[in-house]
Amino acid sequence: MRCRICMQPARWWRRRCDDCRRLATVFAAHRGADMATMMELFVASGAPRDKVEKFLSADLDGEGAVCDQIAADMTNDLLQALGRAGRQTPRGVEYLRQRGGWMTLDRRPPE
């Protein structure tokens, strides 16, 4: 049987090879992380680069490609950050500005 994600041979009772299973575990465990962080985690899982790329374009659960889901999570974080700024006092706006504005809004703000 071949892995449904990377099309490489996988153990016959598996729908995913060991690399892709690890990638899926990392992805599930770190939902909400930004793309750069997620890429570091994927590479750190030991999966070869070409498998990471196939994994990113794979649709695991019918919710869209992994890379699109990461981007959506980042966008949701961004909207949340902006919404928070909109409800905030000038001190809150200053906080966002001091953090560097748009370039850092895709990262989860410290609580």
What amino acid is encoded at 85 in this protein?
Answer: A
Given 11, 13, 20, 108, the residue binding Zn ion (CB under 5 A): 20
* Residue 47: CB minimum distance to Zn ion, A: 8
Closest CA to 6 of 61, 43, 54, 42: 54
Closer of 48 and 92 to Zn ion (Cβ): 48
* Residue 4: CB minimum distance to Zn ion, A: 8
Q: Which stretch binds Zn ion (CB under 5 A): 2-10, 29-37, 69-77, 99-107?
A: 2-10
Q: Rounded to whole angstroms, what are the CA distances from 4 to 54, 69, 75, 98, 109?
A: 10, 18, 28, 45, 36
User: Does residue 56 bind Zn ion (CB under 5 A)?
Assistant: no
Q: Rounded to whole angstroms, what are the CA distances from 83 to 38, 65, 67, 78, 99?
A: 24, 27, 24, 8, 16
Binding to Zn ion (CB under 5 A) within 64-93 occurs at none
User: Does residue 3 bind Zn ion (CB under 5 A)?
Assistant: yes
Q: Which residues bind Zn ion (CB under 5 A)?
A: 3, 5-6, 17, 20
